[in-house]
Amino acid sequence: MKINFQYKIAIVTVLLGTQITFAQKKDGDIGTEVVNVVKPYTPTISDAFKVKETPSLEDDDTSKKENILYNIFSFPVASTFTPSKGKAAGVDKEKQEKLFSNYATLAAGNYGNINAELFVTQTLESGDYVGAMLRHLSSQGGIKGVELDDKFSNTGLDLTYGSRSKNLSWNADLGYQRQMYNWYGLNPILYENLIPTDKDAFLNSIDPKQTYQNISLGGRLTLGESVFKEATIKFNRFSDAFSSGENRLVAKPSLAFDFMDEKIKADFVFDYINGKFSKDYFNGPEIKYGFTNVGVKPSFQINKEDLSVNFGAGFFYSMATESGKNKFFIYPNITASYKVVGDLMIAYAGAEGGLKQNSYQEFAQENFFVSPTLAIAPTDQRYDIYVGLKGKLANTIGYNIRGSYMNEGSKALFLRNSFSYYNTNKEGYANGNSFDVVYDDVKTVSFFGELKADFSKNVSFGISGTFSSYTTDTQAEAWNLPSLKISSNLDFNITSKWYAGLNVFFVGERKDITFVQTAIAIFPPTFATETTTLDNYFDLNAHVGFKYSDRLTFFLKGNNLANQNYQKWVNYPVQGVQGLVGANYKFDF
């Protein structure tokens, strides 16, 4: 068996110690002696060596690794702990107002005014739906200073049937409307100098009544996942009490698809109109008109972060089927918007144009007192160039400002008809109390501003205004076009039951013509026309309502509360202060 290394060291140490003891005892004193060092001491550094991180061990016992085995001894522990379920904090919820599918409204007021509405709709078992809307508005007249009958009525019925699904929706519509108005805007110069019997005879010879009727049939088709997106079609048959008639068919299909990450869209237009008037204003032969307009407006959209640009153009071909020339038109259709500061400030601009087909129906709805002797033609809206800025001043306040320059060819303007005793047309509209339509090239510079604010869920406010400047080509003025229009509204909930609102609008001066008698002593007298200015006016309206229940609401409306006896058209004053008291009832079947 080997002798351990430690034992060897101990034996050597003992022997050396014994040897030194014996030597010291032999020489007790060695004396003194001088030693001269011939060579100076020069220290040296031995080579360094790196200690191994894992030294090698010769001992076999220390080099062996023991295998350690771990075992987990688990056993179930019974526990009676049950964690409590968390509960959300209580939130006070407002009572949700029940929504009803149908309603009926009835109101009556001074001047014999009656306003009634009835709307009903029902969803069928197949998922289809059917609906109907009945409207009626009438007045017995009684405007101060008016010599002719000034009552009116407007009644309409619309029916619809349709279906809605995820990828397909369609509806078919059928409508009928009957309107009755009177050409009561007679110039006082025609009768104020007559003796009472002649005045009565003259006024009694005028029948100012006009009746309009319109029958419409149309539909809409919308597809979800398809290149063919939607299509609308509508047919109107418009007629009056003087044997005038107009047929119009408008179809507008639309296509849209994606190509190389860009949105491509194409809108098609087919607009056919044909009509006639039994005679012209001076009792001449009948007037016929007809146009077929076909157009396409392709465009593609580019979206790059905050910039969105739509490039397109419009191509139209107009064919005159009765009189006039066939024409081809090209219009710009470019729009762009850029988010300067997110939704707080968005700059936008555009250049757009199009061919607008005018119609007797549209003229009669804009001015009920036109004569059934009009010249109907399309308007060439060459371009409308505009720039603007819109966004939010705060979370609840939005704004929109815009400036534009529009160039229109053959723009339609309403101009008062003249009067002559020598006119052989003795209809009720041929006494200078109706309006004609004239066309001119008009350039318009306009500035628009709008501000809307929802101060809270109970108070909302809005105001908008437009200032316009017109330049005409052949006409002396831009007849009956105001240079300034301002409107404002305020709606608020007083309590959960009471609500109220205000609405006011201001319209600036307009230009039209009137006629003056050239020689008083001559009979029949002769008249000359001259330009007149219609004063600006404002109209203040208000309403207040009380919600008696979820179904029943009572309301009170007031119109022209400032009692302004203004004239919207020459010699056509409006009713003074008007009040309506009524109720609205909601219900389900």
pLDDT digits (tens, 9 = 90+) for 289-311: 999 999 999 999 998 889 999 99
Q: DSSP label at 189? A: G
Q: How far is CA 344 from the centre of its chain?
A: 18
Q: 438 with 416: CB under 8 angstroms?
A: no
Secondary structure of residue 276 in the 3-state scheme: strand
Residues 6+ apart with CB under 8 A from 150: 141, 142, 143, 182, 184
Largest CA distance in the chain: 182
* Residue corresponding to tokens 């007031």: 558
Which residues in the chain show pLDDT less than 50? Answer: 1-31, 35, 37, 39, 41, 45-54, 56-63, 70, 73-75, 77-79, 81
pLDDT tens digits, 250-269: 999 999 888 877 889 999 99
The beta-strand segments (E) located in 395-536 are 397-416, 435-456, 459-472, 484-493, 498-507, 510-517, 527-534
Tell me if 177 sits within 8 A of 188, measured CB to CB: no
pLDDT score recorded for residue 328? 96
- Give the per-residue pLDDT at 10: 39
Backbone angles phi, psi at 389, to 5 degrees: -145, 130
pLDDT at res. 167: 83
User: CB count, 10 Å around CB of 184?
Assistant: 23
Please state the separation of Cα 351 from the chain's center in Å: 19
CA distance 181 to 371: 12
Q: Name the CA radius of gyration of the chain, rounded.
A: 47
Residue 86 is predicted with a pLDDT of 53
Residue with tokens 């790059």: 304
- List the structure tokens of 588: 């389900």
Q: 415: closest CA among 386, 373, 378, 450?
A: 373
Provide the token pair at 180: 């009755």
pLDDT of 511-557, one tens digit each?
Answer: 999 988 887 667 778 888 899 999 999 999 999 999 999 999 999 99
Distance CA 519, CA 508 (A): 34
Helix (H, G, I), strand (E, B) or coil at 60: helix
> What tens digit of pLDDT does each residue of 443-478 get?
999 999 999 999 888 999 999 999 999 999 999 999
This prediction has a pTM of 0.82
DSSP 575: P
